[in-house]
A and B are shown apart, each in its own frame.
Chain A
Amino acid sequence: MTQRAKPPGDVTRLICNGIDATTGEYLVPPIDAHRLARVATGDRLAGDEIADLQNKSLQARRSSFTVVEGVDPNDLAQTGWAAVFPAVADDDALRQAAIRDALAPLLQHRRAQATAAADLYREYAGELGYRTGETKQQYLARLGAGPGPARPQKVPYYLLLIATPEEIPYRIQYQLDVHYAVGRIAFDTFEDYARYACSVVDAETGRARRPRRASFFGVANPNDAATRLSADHLVIPLIEHVATGHARHGFAVDSHLGDAAHRGRLVELLGDPPALLFTASHGMGFPSGAAGQRECQGALLCQDWGGPGAPIAREHYLAGDDLPTHADLRGMISVLFACFGAGTPTRDEFTRRALGEASARQLAPASLIARLPQRMLAHPAGGALAVVGHIDRAWGSTFLWIDAQGKAQPRTHLDVFESMLDSLLAGKRLGYAMEAFNLRYAELAADLSERIEQIQLYDEHYEDSELAHMWICNNDARNYAVIGDPAVRIPTTGEHAAARREPFTLRGDPRPGAPMSEDPHELAPRDADETRREALEPPSYGWFSKDDKQPGALARLGNKLGEVLSEVLGDAAVLEVKTYTSADLQSIAGGEPLQTSGARLRAYTRCKLDGDTEVCVPVTATGAVDEALWALHVEMVKQAQAHRAELLKTVLSVFSSRVGK
């Protein structure tokens, strides 16, 4: 890896990253630009999509904001956050409700953030869920929004799609992504949803912390132009960029390139994961419906493979099943540059249009989210925050800008990647960090549409390679997607260390005889044995179990009850009773402030835990004790004390089996 590969001089041959698992050959042979040009001229977007993209492109040229003026895109209190479910039939409603329950810790966490200033938290389900067949604009219109930048009061900027790509198609995700920050999750089990939710909350509340390390893993298989280019013109420049630009943020950088980028090293990396993992490699592609496709489509082909034409063995690539069982991935964001790294659509647009097949080749029986990111997010020992990857094929055009007319040499063009990494390492939210990709897509799509219009309307001269390149770049930029919550972020230096200590909270260890803890962070560090053990055991459904990894409804209720009890204990030091008189009780009941209601404080009692008590007794105009009022006040003090005693008794009864045994 001492000498970098030269960018290809032949701009009429376009290469993508993807290897056929059965043949060891490229998934798509290098494509002739003349054929792609014809594809491009026939591939026009719908009118409203063009308008939306042009709007976005124009907006990008004018300013840097992605939501309406005055909204900080990194502050959820201003941007809002929404969970988007598909509208489902009654039979699936129960399943959806259970998913929602499993995600409760995350939903509660986001609700608290998105309602800090105003109520900008939404759950779009049922009637407000996405309906099959709707376009993006039709759906947004139903939610009360239109084309243009996100207006959080109408629809929040951060949207988490909780749906398989069959329920909410990738096409809708791409289009929503133009103006919104969009991510997606879909798992096979409720436990996976619950694990992901808890992992995100753990990472964002400082319960799980990752070392401030960015790791780069760049494969360069022998005789393979694609990975040689990605290693030399994507990974190495990014390492240099991050190493020089982010040392001030306390980020250490490690690199694993070429011969060092073997599968075993990647497994080691995931066993001690960094905050940011960037990989560039081929992604595995399987024939539609083939054995192994569901588990291994998009798996990362490592340096172990001998290059094009060489046979591929299972041990050459890393799939979801290969994650170390003890890997605690909480707090990690991964960027996987590889074909199908994030998912696979049902139909293959590239080959259908470019290679002239009569009908679209089926890539998979149903659209897939790649198993590797799914497993990373829902890992039993702790899930990653999110994975950025490619739906369908990844092309070198993302980082290698080719002069469409062939008048200049191709050159490395990493602005979008650098922008994304800069944002992430500076603590920006992932969905916002992805804006660079979205802007690129919007600009390229708008340019392509305009160019095609000129050609078709005015018969302007064009080069095949020009249109082919624009078309590939456009589709390539569009297909980057976030698997995970788009609002996740890597914390800034010392963020959690400086964070306010959480209020006194009782947390019980479900194991018999285990002590109670007052410190919510005490359980944070997990030793290797513990995580290994937990990975092998089924999730605990215990009362206030460690890490809150309970089934959704139980977890939510347990947490809520914990809040209730913590509030009781937190306020137990002082009891205060005030008695007022007012000639206009109705206005006070109606909410009029005390200052303007004419209410008079007549009696006051303040009891401290240590026995100190302050009492003010009401007297009449003659100086005598107002007996009726005093009787009422004394009775209320008694009731307040009794109420507190009852609640404390409940607290003790709840915890006695955990503390007193």
Chain B
Amino acid sequence: MFELGGALAPALPELAVGPWRRAPGLVAFDTGPLESVWRVGLASDLAASRTALADGERSVARTHAALDDAPRRLERALEQLLPDLPPAARSDPADADLAGSRASSPGSEARDAASSLRFASPPESRLAWSSADREASRVPGEPGWLGGALDRIADLARGRARIETRVDGALVAHSLMTLSGDTQVWAVPRLSLAGAQLHARSVAIAVRTRHAWARILTLVVRGGARIAALGLPAAAIAALPVAWRIVRDALREANDRRTDPA
């Protein structure tokens, strides 16, 4: 069982990143505004615990793989949007650093998102939004939701992470890791070697997930900046929602592949 709580978690978007599920009620008493709580609940059966952790590790790996693919999705979406634009004007060399080797075609939602930039309001009604912009920004339903969600993601990425490992409900170890990696670990006095390994793996899954959130933020902001820089009508307003949808699609498809019966 992987639960993400703390002051930041309830504001996070409904998006599966790694094996974690939000636990709004999970709040440490000293949780400040920039601290997230990551709880790994394991069984006393060591083999079952190791299996659960292995599943968690695979889930985070899938998330990172999906994020590797996100820059390419953005490229494809821009290609479809602006077929006449030279590749140099669209490409961002930094993407190569973040992208992995896998490639896939962008989802239909990403294409729709990018094409929504075409149907912008005329310049004279500068405060009006196009219907496409509205739709893109209303994920999942409230005005300004996306901006707030990305804010929370940034807070999650830079805040302290408190990672707890529990075996049969009992807290056996917990760690506090700051953004820069400074770490404090607390363990019960007679922690077994196996218990130590379980906590170390729990921490690794949490930290890798936090890093995934940082990558999501980076991808969305950089993608949004590039879309905005194209100078299309309404790009300034719709850039972030469009970039968000492209990244979100990539993550959803990764999750769908995991849950596919085939």
A residues neighboring B (CB under 8 Å): 90, 93-98, 100-101, 188-191, 510, 538-543, 550-554, 556-558, 560-561, 563-564, 567-568, 570-572, 575-583, 585-586, 588-591, 599, 627-629, 631-633, 635-637, 639-644, 646-647, 649-650, 652-657, 660-661
Contacts and interface: CB of A to CB of B under 8 A. Distances in A.
A98 B237 contact: yes
A189 B121 CA distance: 13
Given A541-B239, A577-B183, 20 more contacts: A90-B143, A94-B134, A97-B137, A188-B126, A190-B236, A543-B225, A551-B237, A554-B225, A556-B151, A557-B221, A560-B151, A560-B158, A571-B181, A580-B186, A628-B191, A629-B191, A632-B173, A640-B183, A646-B211, A650-B214
Contacts of A558: 221, 225
Contacts of A632: 173, 185, 187, 191, 196-197, 199-200
B177 to A, nearest CB: 7
A628 B181 CA distance: 22
A627 B236 contact: no
11 contacts: A94-B134, A97-B144, A543-B226, A551-B228, A551-B236, A579-B187, A580-B184, A632-B191, A632-B200, A653-B94, A653-B97
Interface in B196-245: 196-197, 199-200, 203-204, 207, 211, 214-215, 217-218, 220-222, 224-226, 228-229, 231, 235-237, 239-240
Q: How large is the interface on B (under 10, 10 to 19, 20 to 34, 35 or more residues)?
A: 35 or more
B94 A656 contact: yes
B180 A542 contact: no
Given A639-B204, A643-B177, A646-B211, A591 B30 contact: yes
A50 to B, nearest CB: 39
Contacts of B220: 557
Interface string B145-186: 011001100110110001010000001111101111111111
A585 B214 contact: no
B126 A582 contact: no
Nearest to B138: A94
Contacts of A654: 94, 218, 222
B260 to A, nearest CB: 29
Instruction: Identify the 10 closest CB pairs spanning chains A and B, nearest first.
Output: A591-B30, A541-B228, A97-B144, A571-B180, A632-B196, A653-B97, A635-B200, A644-B181, A543-B225, A657-B94
Interface in B44-84: none
Nearest to B201: A635
A628 B196 contact: yes
Contact of A553 (B150, B184, B193): B150
A575 B144 contact: no
A556 B225 CA distance: 12
B183 A647 contact: no
B261 interface: no
Contact of B28 (A94, A564, A589): A589
Contacts of A644: 180-181
A589 B174 contact: yes
